Amino acid sequence: MSGAPLIKVRGLRSQFGSHVVHDNLDLEIRQGETLGIVGGSGSGKSVLINTILGLKSPDGGEILFRGAPMSKMSGRDRLELEKRWGVLFQAGALFSSLTVQENVMAPMREHVRMPVSLMKELADLKIGLVGLSGEAGGKFPAELSGGMKKRAGLARALSLDPDILFLDEPTAGLDPIGASAFDDLIKELSETLNLTVVMITHDLDSLHAICDRVAVIADKTIIANAPLDVLTRNPHPWIQEYFGGPRGRAVLRQAAED
């Protein structure tokens, strides 16, 4: 992991009508790191990611990619940039009328000119990369288990060989064994493919297992952004309540034993 900032969020303000979600929020995402984002319900974790992705315009502040303001990028440059970003939404967001293979091919059809036969080969490669069997490619989302849907969504996120992977609650709804296996998969892929990973999660095990740093949203801003062992010493009440509860203590105790 290099210390070079890949994405900078500066003075971000997000609001819906009179409701202010973020006010003067700053965040740096470093190249090659896995960054976890945590915060209470309604703190604006998904709003932050959606704003970085361009799905929501900032109401104030600026987002920079490698030092260049994204608001000043041409439409073509922004499109080229977004092709380098993979996104796994919380519910998978798979197209129900398409097979897994067709879902993984969808970004290729939109952004790349190549023979369909090659698209199918690449889609099958991505499907295998996330640990799904070859026959899974011919199944529809309704035929998949929760864990398989997550992996299929991840395969689609990797379709265009992204540099950055955004994950929204990737282990939500999975049992502990499935969640642990998914954490291992993300860690392996990030190391093998040299990915920068930005992950919204409430899963304390995931934070410990794969995150280099954890950013905490509270009071409409980022109140801390540090490795987990440093973060847990922060005196902020929300941080102490979150990491100092029975579940948090158990995870940290296990981490110390490991």
Q: Which long-range contacts (CB under 8 A, 24 or more apart) does 230-239 make?
A: 238/40
Least confident of 30-44, 81-95, 173-187, 231-245: 81-95
Mean pLDDT of the chain: 91
- Of all residues in the chain, the percent with pLDDT exceeding 90 is 74
- Most confident range, picked from 88-92, 172-176, 248-252: 172-176
This prediction's pTM: 0.90
Give CA–CA dist 128/159, Å, rounded.
12
Say which amino acid occupies 28. Answer: E
Instruction: Say which DSSP state 156 is in.
Output: H
pLDDT of residue 82: 82
In this structure, what is the dihedral angle of CA atoms 57, 170, 232, 244, given to the nearest 10 degrees?
Answer: 120
CATH fold of 74-257, please?
Answer: Rossmann fold (3.40.50)
**Confidence band for 239, pLDDT divided at 50, 70 and 90:** very high
87-113: pLDDT as tens digits: 998 766 899 999 999 999 999 998 889
- pLDDT of 227 above 60: yes
Q: Which residues contact 106 (CB under 8 A, 6 or more apart)?
A: 95, 98, 156, 159
- pLDDT of 134 above 70: yes
Mean pLDDT across 161-171:
94
- pLDDT of 257 above 60: no
